[in-house]
Amino acid sequence: MRPDLPTVPLEAGAGPENPPCPACGEPLFVWVELPVETGLAHRCEACGLGVLGRTGTTGDALADLDHDSGEDGAIIFENRASFQSQLTGGAWSGLGTDRAYRFTPESIVRLVSNRDQVLDSSRWLPGTGILMMWQSGINMFTFGHNLALGRFGRARATPSRKAWRRRLDAFITVVLAVPSMLFAVPVELIGGLIGRGGASRIRLKVL
């Protein structure tokens, strides 16, 4: 269990309301800190896997992970256990996604062990992480989510349904663009230095 996550006796969650984690098999818990628009989400207290929407099977989670695999076989993922994710909670830009699973390094290790794979290498992506933290900082003050990165096709944007809120969000985004970057650079650098960067490129290998 990660030291930064609340300590909950895992057996307390076993039952139909707490389906097994697709990565490690421990019971999932409802992820209550998320914005309402996200719908019912779960997270694993053991390996940190975040599940947005339907919980699915181990095969579903593996397919979701492989979806990020490039031609060279490397996988880029946004780290739910990152310093920036823990700091910004429901405002974390990595939550603005069409994907079902939000991975942590531990959840990936557990997940790929199901097909006899291990982590071969992992490389922090500071540029991507700084952009994510920049957007997360702005998300903390806007009604919508990922409005700036979404405009550049770097994330899925969720604008507010009300026009006046969208106008206010556009104004807030402009006002906070520079201050949020000043904040994002040190936060992500600290995250990288303590091994909890916002995004990483990993390679897997067969045992």
What is the contact surface with Zn ion in residues (CB under 5 A)? 21, 23-24, 44, 46-47, 49
CB of 43 vs Zn ion, minimal distance in Å: 9
CB of 95 vs Zn ion, minimal distance in Å: 18
CB of 131 vs Zn ion, minimal distance in Å: 28
Is 41 or 44 the residue whose CB approaches Zn ion more closely? Answer: 44
Is 49 or 132 the residue whose CB approaches Zn ion more closely? Answer: 49
Is 23 or 41 the residue whose CB approaches Zn ion more closely? Answer: 23
Q: What is the 3-state secondary structure (H, E, C) of the chain?
A: CCCCCCCCCHHHHCECCECECCCCCCEEEECCCCCHHHCCEEEECCCCCEEECCCCCHHHHHHHHHCCECCCCCEEEECCCCHHHHHHHHHCHHHCCCCCEECCHHHHHHHHHHHCEEEEEEEECHHHHHHHHHHHHHHCCCCCECHHHHHCCCCCCECCCCHHHHHHHHHHHHHHHHHHHHHHHHHHHHHHHCCCCCEEEEEEEEC
Is 176 or 204 the residue whose CB approaches Zn ion more closely? Answer: 204
CB of 31 vs Zn ion, minimal distance in Å: 13
